[in-house]
C-alpha cells in the first residue's frame, strides 16, 4: 500500500438484558455465555481509522487525548484486519464518545464496533455484519453486539476457533420501541474493568458455577418475552440476570461491588415504580450507573423520578438505535 487509506464509522453503545459475564479459556475472547442486548440510539462512538505507510506504530487519540495505554487492545484488533488484508501498515485511530468513557456506559462496546467498522472499510475488506461481529468480539465481547441495531443476541458458540461466537439481530427496534433512561450516579473510570472482573469471578466466586448453569433458561425466557412483546416477562428476566451477575461478582475474592449507595436506592425506586403500575425495569453493568428500560409513554415519569433521587448526577435519555454505520473519509 503506498497511499493513505482512511474511513470512518459510528457505532452505538448497547446494554445487556441477559448479561455476558465470563470467558472461555484461550486468547480469542470467546464468552462463556450468550447474551441479549438492546442498542442505544443516543450514545455513540465516532471513529476514524487511517492506515498510513509513513507511521512506525499505531496511534490512538480518544476524546482528543493521545491514549498509548489503550493501544494494546486496539492494535490487536487492527492486526486481525491487517492479516485479512495481507498488509502490515500502521494506523492512526481517532475516536470520540459522546458520553463519559469507562464509567460503566459500555464505551468499549461502541468503541470496538466503530474501530472494526472503520478499519475494515479503510482497508477495502468486504466483511459481512457477522464477520465484523466476530472481529469486534475479539476487541471486546459486548462490541460484537453493537454491530447490530434494536434487540440483539450474542451466541457464545462452541467452536474452538471462535468462528461461531458472534451476535445476530433478534428484532428491529421499531418493532418494539422501548426507551432507556440512564441515571449517572458517579463519574470517572470504574475501579475494576469487566474483563478482569469476569476472570476474578470465575477464579474465586463460589456462585460462578451457578451463574453458568442457570444462564441458558434466562436466554430462552428473554427471547420469548421479546418475540411476544411481553414487558412484564422481559422485566422479570432482565432484573434477575443482572442481580445474578452482581451476586456472583460480589462473592468473588476480593469482592467486586460495582453498586454504590445511589445505585441501590435507584433499584428500589424503579421496583416501586413498577409495583405502582409503571412499565419500567432496571439493569446495572460493571459500574454504578442505573439503566432504566421503559415503555416510551413512561419515560418522562421515569426520568423525573430518577433525576429527583439524591446523588443522581445526570440523566441521559435514549430510544433504541441502529447498527454500525460506516463512511468514506478524506485521507
Ligand atoms: C457487565 O464487553 O466490557 O457489561 O469482552 O472483556 O471487553 P470484554 O468485556 P465487556 O463486558 C461487558 C460486561 C457487562 C455485561 C454485558 O454487557 O453483557
- Give residue 106's pLDDT band: very low, low, confident or very high (50, 70, 90): low
Q: Identify which of 107-111, 164-168, 327-331 has the greatest average pLDDT.
A: 164-168
How many whole angstroms separate alpha carbon 243 and alpha carbon 230? 20
Q: Specify whether 156 is located in the same domain as 183.
A: no
Strands across the sheet containing 179-184? 280-283, 290-294, 179-184, 314-318
Write down which residue in 129, 156, 172 finishes a domain. Answer: 172
Most informative mutation of 147, 246, 286, 291 for ligand 1 (most atoms within 8 A of CB): 286
In angstroms, the CA 45 to CA 47 distance is: 6
Name the residue with the closest Cα to ligand 1, atom 4.
285
The grid cell for 103 is 464509567
Helix segments in 257-298, DSSP class H: 261-275
Tell me the average pLDDT across 291-314: 97
- At residue 107, the pLDDT reads 77
User: What number is the average pLDDT over the span 262-279?
Assistant: 98
Averaged pLDDT score across all residues of the chain? 95
Q: Of all residues in the chain, what percent carry a pLDDT higher than 70?
A: 96
Mean pLDDT for 11-25 is: 97
How remote is the CA of residue 34 from the centroid of ligand 1, in Å? 11
| pLDDT tens by residue, 241-266 | 999 999 999 999 999 999 999 999 99
Pair 96, 46: CB distance under 8 Å: yes
Instruction: Give residue 135's domain range.
Output: 5-172
Q: Are strands 91-97 and 59-62 parallel, antiparallel or unpaired?
A: parallel
Domains held by the chain: number: 2
Q: Among 172, 195, 215, identify where a domain stops.
A: 172
Q: Which atom of ligand 1 lies nearest, measured to the CA of 140?
A: 7
Please report the atom of ligand 1 found closest to the CA of residue 104. 4
- pLDDT number for residue 99: 79
Question: What per-residue confidence (pLDDT) applies to 30?
Answer: 97
Q: Give the ligand 1 atom nearest the CA of 195.
A: 6
- Which residue in this structure is represented by grid cell 492512526? 92
Rg (CA), the chain: 19
Q: Which residue, 130, 149, 172, sits at the end of a domain?
A: 172
198-232 tens-digit pLDDT: 999 999 999 999 999 999 999 999 999 999 999 99
Q: Which three cell numbers stand for residue 35?
A: 447474551
CA distance 146 to 41: 11
Amino acid at each position: 500500500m503506498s497511499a493513505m487509506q482512511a474511513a470512518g464509522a459510528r457505532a452505538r453503545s448497547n446494554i445487556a438484558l441477559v448479561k455476558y459475564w465470563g470467558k472461555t479459556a484461550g486468547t480469542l475472547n470467546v464468552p462463556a455465555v450468550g447474551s441479549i442486548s438492546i442498542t442505544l440510539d443516543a450514545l455513540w462512538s465516532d471513529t476514524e481509522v487511517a492506515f498510513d505507510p509513513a507511521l512506525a506504530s499505531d496511534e490512538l487519540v480518544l476524546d482528543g487525548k493521545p491514549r498509548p495505554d489503550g493501544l494494546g487492545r486496539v492494535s490487536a484488533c487492527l492486526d486481525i484486519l491487517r492479516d485479512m488484508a495481507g498488509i502490515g501498515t500502521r494506523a492512526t485511530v481517532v475516536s470520540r464518545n459522546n458520553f463519559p468513557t469507562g464509567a460503566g456506559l459500555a464505551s468499549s462496546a461502541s468503541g470496538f464496533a466503530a474501530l472494526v467498522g472503520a478499519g475494515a472499510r479503510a482497508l477495502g475488506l468486504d466483511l459481512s455484519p457477522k464477520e465484523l461481529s466476530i472481529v469486534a468480539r475479539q476487541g471486546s465481547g459486548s462490541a460484537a453486539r453493537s454491530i447490530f441495531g434494536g434487540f440483539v443476541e450474542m451466541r457464545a458458540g462452541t467452536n474452538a476457533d471462535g468462528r461461531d461466537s458472534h451476535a445476530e439481530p433478534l428484532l428491529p427496534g421499531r418493532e418494539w420501541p422501548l426507551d432507556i433512561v440512564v441515571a449517572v450516579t458517579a463519574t470517572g473510570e470504574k475501579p475494576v474493568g469487566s474483563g478482569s472482573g469476569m476472570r476474578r469471578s470465575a477464579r474465586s466466586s463460589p456462585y460462578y458455577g451457578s451463574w453458568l448453569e442457570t444462564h441458558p433458561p434466562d436466554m430462552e425466557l428473554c427471547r420469548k418475552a421479546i418475540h411476544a412483546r411481553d414487558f412484564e416477562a422481559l422485566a422479570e428476566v432482565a432484573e434477575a440476570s443482572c442481580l445474578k451477575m452482581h451476586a456472583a461478582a460480589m462473592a468473588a475474592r476480593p469482592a467486586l461491588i460495582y453498586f454504590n449507595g445511589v445505585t441501590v436506592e435507584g433499584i428500589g425506586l424503579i421496583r416501586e415504580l413498577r409495583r405502582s403500575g409503571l412499565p419500567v425495569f432496571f439493569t446495572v453493568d460493571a459500574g454504578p450507573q442505573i439503566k432504566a428500560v421503559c415503555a416510551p409513554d413512561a419515560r418522562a415519569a421515569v426520568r423525573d423520578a430518577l433525576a429527583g433521587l439524591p446523588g443522581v448526577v445526570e440523566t441521559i435519555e435514549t430510544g433504541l438505535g441502529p447498527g454500525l454505520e460506516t463512511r468514506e473519509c478524506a485521507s
